[in-house]
């Protein structure tokens, strides 16, 4: 009987300790045109936009008090290809290798305008790859 009670107490303590463990923050998802098109709508609140896209890079306010949020992201993709050839003939030896490197940059700028009540009035985006 004592053994069963001890097991129940230990299980309860373990559940309590695991329940209090610090939670990992959600991983920030990649900002893409598709995400903006899917998630952002006129009339959304600033809190809903922040939940969908995260924090903006730039926040401005015009003379009427209307905020504009700007998300400006830049990504670089690099790929390298190499090939090699080698050989040995008696005393003579030779080798040849080549390497090709390619770098591509992508940019995405999202501009979201809010009214005086913090609701989305309009949004636009521009993506480029070079």
Put residue 117 in one of left, alpha, beta given phi > 0 → left and psi -120 to 50 → alpha: alpha
| Phi, psi dihedral angles at 7 (to 5 degrees) | -60, -40
Does position 119 have pLDDT exceeding 60, yes or no? yes
**Whose structure tokens read 């373990």?**
14
Mean predicted confidence (pLDDT) in 111-121:
97
Q: According to the model, what pLDDT value does residue 20 have?
A: 52
- Give pLDDT tens digits for 67-106: 999 999 999 988 887 766 666 555 656 666 677 888 999 9
Q: How far apart are CA 58 and CA 69, in angstroms?
A: 6
Sign of CA dihedral 10, 13, 19, 24: negative
| CATH level 3 topology of 31-129 | Beta-lactamase Inhibitory Protein; Chain:B, domain 1 (3.30.1450)
Of 100, 104, 114, the C-alpha closest to 61 is: 114
- Give pLDDT tens digits for 21-61: 444 434 456 899 999 999 999 999 999 999 999 999 999 99
Q: In this structure, what DSSP letter does residue 44 have?
A: -
Task: Give the contacts of 119 (CB within 8 A, at least 6 positions apart).
Answer: 42, 43, 44, 45
pTM of structure: 0.63
Q: How far apart are CA 75 and CA 106, in angstroms?
A: 5
């Amino acid at each position: 009987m004592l053994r069963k009670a001890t097991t129940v107490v230990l299980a309860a303590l373990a559940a309590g300790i695991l329940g209090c463990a610090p939670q990992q923050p959600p991983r920030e998802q990649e900002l893409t045109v598709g995400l903006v098109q899917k998630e952002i709508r006129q009339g959304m609140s600033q809190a809903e936009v922040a939940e969908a896209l995260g924090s903006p890079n730039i926040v401005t306010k015009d003379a009427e008090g209307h905020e504009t949020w700007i998300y400006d992201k830049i990504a670089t993709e690099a790929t390298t290809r190499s090939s090699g050839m080698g050989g040995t003939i008696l005393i003579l030896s030779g080798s040849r290798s080549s390497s090709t490197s390619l770098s591509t940059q992508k940019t995405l700028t999202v501009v979201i305008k809010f009214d005086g009540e913090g609701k989305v009035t309009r949004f636009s985006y521009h993506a480029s790859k070079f």
